[in-house]
């Protein structure tokens, strides 16, 4: 059976007009100067997206990329300027926990009100009520006005209501970042349960770890346009690239013959291992050597070169730089080779990416290669993970 589409976004654009004047006087002045203070910008540009049932899609992008707007358009809270969104099944939008909670009403009254806002009938709320209260863990305060709740209690009750409305489609906007750790674990467990039950989840997140952990698909937005739609690993790489574009490197003057007068440049990065298998994959136990060839033009004293080792989905594995190694890098112009030796590799099976960077002491980029190199590690057998142990097991009768 093919999985049915639950959301169909086609050709959606959204234009916002920014009014900078609110008072009558300002408006008249603006009118006289031919409305030049009315700015418009496109929060979304020609977005096409089909989401099949049961998938978990992460919307990522940096601030102002339009990811929250897209979520609101899918939720029907904002109407697109052009294009159309089609949807089916029951929707629950967790754009803000406790939207519609009234501070003067008790927890119980708010549960009924909020459940009704999310589309539950009174009879259904009656049925889920005990479960909701148990999930939130605030039984003894349920008849207290919510204005006396701590922010944690408030959020817990709101989340409890939202996950009990039996949605086919759950829209989540950053709300998973709230609450204490046990509660966050509870939320993530609930999300995993939702995924098993074939519910569709679309969520906006800033955390690439969370995206890597939860999503089976990532959509990257950059200034309103969809720049990637596919696997989380690629998505996170694309996201990084858009971050980099925003992260302006300091100017560098290069001559045609390759010499530099200002800044520094990474010319090449090589990774080798003293222990590899027949296919060229690294094997545990060997020394990994990273060689960075770079050219120095004019750099401030105390500048730093570093490497960053990550999994393809962006989980950090190891990072080290010359500052941490207590090494002072020369500032005289010229070409250099820096070799960093990672002795006795204990990396687990999988592929890894290596980023290299040259930065000023203040943390500004001189040059950055992301990723600069990649390699794979194979292990013969045993456990799975980013680290490798020479694991053995023994069985005895007792």
Partner 1 sequence: MADPAAFHRAERIASLPLIEVGRHGGFLTGTGQAIRDIWHRRELLGLLVRRELKARYKNSSLGLVWSLMRPLSQLLIYYFAVGQIIGLARAIPDFAIFVFVGLTAWMLFSEIVSNATVSIIHNQGLVKKVYLPREIFPLASVGSALFNFAVQFLILVAAMVALQRVPLTGEILYAVAAFIMLVTFATALGVLLAGVTVYARDLEHLVEVVLAVLFWASPVVYSFGFVRDVIGGTVLEQIYLANPITIAVMGFQRGLWIAGSDPANGIVWPPDMAWRMLAVFLFSLVLLWVSQRLFSRIQGNFAQEL
3-state secondary structure 266-279: EEEEEEEECCECCC
CB-wise, 100 or 300, nearer to partner 1?
A: 100
DSSP at 145: B
Q: In the bound complex, what is the minimum distance in angstroms from residue 217's beta carbon to partner 1?
A: 16
Report the site for partner 1 in 264-283 (rule: CB under 8 A): none
Structure tokens at 143: 């008849």
Nearest partner of 295 among 325, 268, 272, 256, judged by Cα? 268
Segments in the chain forming alpha helices (H):
24-32, 67-75, 107-117, 122-136, 151-163, 181-196, 208-214, 232-246
Binding flag, residue 314, partner 1 (CB under 8 A)? no
Binding flag, residue 143, partner 1 (CB under 8 A)? no
Greatest CA separation found in the chain? 93
Q: In the bound complex, what is the minimum distance in angstroms from residue 95's beta carbon to partner 1?
A: 4
Q: In the bound complex, what is the minimum distance in angstroms from residue 3's beta carbon to partner 1?
A: 6
Q: How far apart are CA 353 and CA 348, in angstroms?
A: 13
Q: How far apart are CA 26 and CA 367, in angstroms?
A: 46
Binding flag, residue 88, partner 1 (CB under 8 A)? yes
Among 78, 188, 233, 317, binds partner 1 (CB under 8 A): 78
Polymer length in residues for the chain: 398
CB-wise, 26 or 197, nearer to partner 1?
A: 197
Among 44, 49, 51, 54, binds partner 1 (CB under 8 A): 54
Q: In the bound complex, what is the minimum distance in angstroms from residue 317's beta carbon to partner 1?
A: 31
Binding flag, residue 255, partner 1 (CB under 8 A)? no
Binding flag, residue 104, partner 1 (CB under 8 A)? yes
- Burial of residue 118 (CB within 10 Å: 0-12, 13-18, 19+) is buried
- Burial of residue 222 (CB within 10 Å: 0-12, 13-18, 19+) is buried
Binding flag, residue 325, partner 1 (CB under 8 A)? no
Q: In the bound complex, what is the minimum distance in angstroms from residue 218's beta carbon to partner 1?
A: 21
Residue span binding partner 1 (CB under 8 A) among the ranges 84-92, 134-142, 241-249, 344-352: 84-92
CB contact burial 294-308 (16+ within 10 A = b; e otherwise):
bbbbebeeebbbbbb
Q: In the bound complex, what is the minimum distance in angstroms from residue 22's beta carbon to partner 1?
A: 8
Binding flag, residue 117, partner 1 (CB under 8 A)? yes
CB-wise, 43 or 290, nearer to partner 1?
A: 43
CB-wise, 38 or 311, nearer to partner 1?
A: 38
Binding flag, residue 100, partner 1 (CB under 8 A)? yes
Q: Do 85 and 12 meet the contact criterion of CB atoms below 8 Å apart?
A: yes
Residue span binding partner 1 (CB under 8 A) among the ranges 1-9, 135-143, 224-232, 327-335: 1-9
Q: In the bound complex, what is the minimum distance in angstroms from residue 128's beta carbon to partner 1?
A: 15
Nearest partner of 105 among 90, 116, 91, judged by Cα? 116
Binding flag, residue 86, partner 1 (CB under 8 A)? yes
Binding flag, residue 99, partner 1 (CB under 8 A)? yes
CB-wise, 92 or 133, nearer to partner 1?
A: 92
Q: Do 153 and 138 meet the contact criterion of CB atoms below 8 Å apart?
A: yes
Binding flag, residue 105, partner 1 (CB under 8 A)? yes
Among 11, 26, 122, 361, binds partner 1 (CB under 8 A): 122
Tell me, rounded to whole angstroms, the distance of Cα 93 from its chain centroid: 19
Q: How far apart are CA 286 and CA 289, in angstroms?
A: 10
Residue span binding partner 1 (CB under 8 A) among the ranges 86-94, 298-306, 330-338, 363-371: 86-94
Q: In the bound complex, what is the minimum distance in angstroms from residue 172's beta carbon to partner 1?
A: 12
For residue 270, the cross-strand partners are 291
Binding flag, residue 42, partner 1 (CB under 8 A)? no
Dihedral angle of Cα 255, 256, 257, 263, to the nearest 10 degrees = 30
Structure tokens at 9: 């976004």
Q: In the bound complex, what is the minimum distance in angstroms from residue 196's beta carbon to partner 1?
A: 5
Interface ranges with partner 1 (CB under 8 A): 1, 3-6, 8, 16, 22, 24, 53-54, 72-79, 84-89, 91, 93, 95-96, 99-100, 102, 104-105, 109, 112-113, 116-118, 121-122, 145, 168, 196-199
């Amino acid at each position: 059976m093919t999985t049915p589409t639950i959301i169909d976004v086609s050709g959606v654009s959204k234009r916002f007009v920014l009014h900078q004047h609110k008072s009558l006087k300002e408006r008249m002045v603006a009118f006289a100067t031919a409305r030049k203070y009315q700015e418009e910008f496109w929060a979304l540009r020609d977005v096409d997206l089909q989401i099949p049932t049961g998938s978990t899609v992460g919307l990522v992008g940096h601030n102002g990329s339009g990811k929250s707007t897209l979520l609101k358009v899918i939720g029907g809270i904002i109407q697109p300027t052009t294009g159309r969104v089609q949807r089916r099944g029951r929707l629950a939008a967790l754009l803000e926990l406790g939207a519609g909670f009234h501070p003067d009403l008790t927890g119980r009254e708010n549960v009924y009100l909020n459940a009704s806002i999310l589309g539950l009938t009174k009879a259904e709320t009656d049925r889920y009520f005990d479960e909701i209260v148990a999930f939130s863990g605030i039984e003894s305060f349920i008849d207290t006005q919510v204005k006396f709740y701590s922010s944690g209690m408030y959020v817990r009750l709101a989340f409890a209501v939202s996950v009990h409305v039996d949605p086919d489609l759950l829209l989540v906007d950053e709300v998973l970042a709230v609450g204490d750790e046990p509660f966050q674990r509870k939320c993530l467990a609930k999300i995993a349960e939702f995924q098993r039950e074939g519910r569709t989840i679309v969520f906006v997140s800033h955390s690439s770890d969370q995206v890597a952990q939860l999503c089976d698909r990532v959509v990257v937005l950059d200034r309103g346009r969809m720049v990637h739609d596919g696997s989380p690993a690629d998505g996170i790489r694309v996201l990084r690239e858009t971050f980099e574009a925003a992260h302006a490197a300091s100017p560098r003057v290069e001559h045609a013959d390759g010499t530099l007068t200002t800044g520094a440049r990474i010319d090449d990065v090589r990774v080798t291992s003293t222990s590899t298998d027949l296919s060229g994959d690294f094997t545990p136990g060997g020394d990994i050597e990273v060689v960075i060839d770079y050219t120095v033009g004019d750099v401030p004293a105390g500048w730093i070169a570093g490497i960053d080792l990550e999994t393809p989905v962006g989980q950090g594995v190891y990072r080290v730089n010359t500052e941490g190694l207590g090494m002072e890098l020369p500032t005289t112009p010229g070409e250099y080779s820096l070799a960093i030796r990672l002795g006795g590799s204990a990396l687990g099976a999988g592929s890894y990416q290596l980023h290299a960077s040259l930065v000023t002491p203040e943390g500004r980029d001189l040059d950055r290669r992301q990723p600069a190199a990649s390699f794979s590690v194979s292990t013969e057998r045993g456990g799975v993970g980013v680290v490798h142990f020479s694991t053995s097991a023994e069985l005895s009768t007792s």
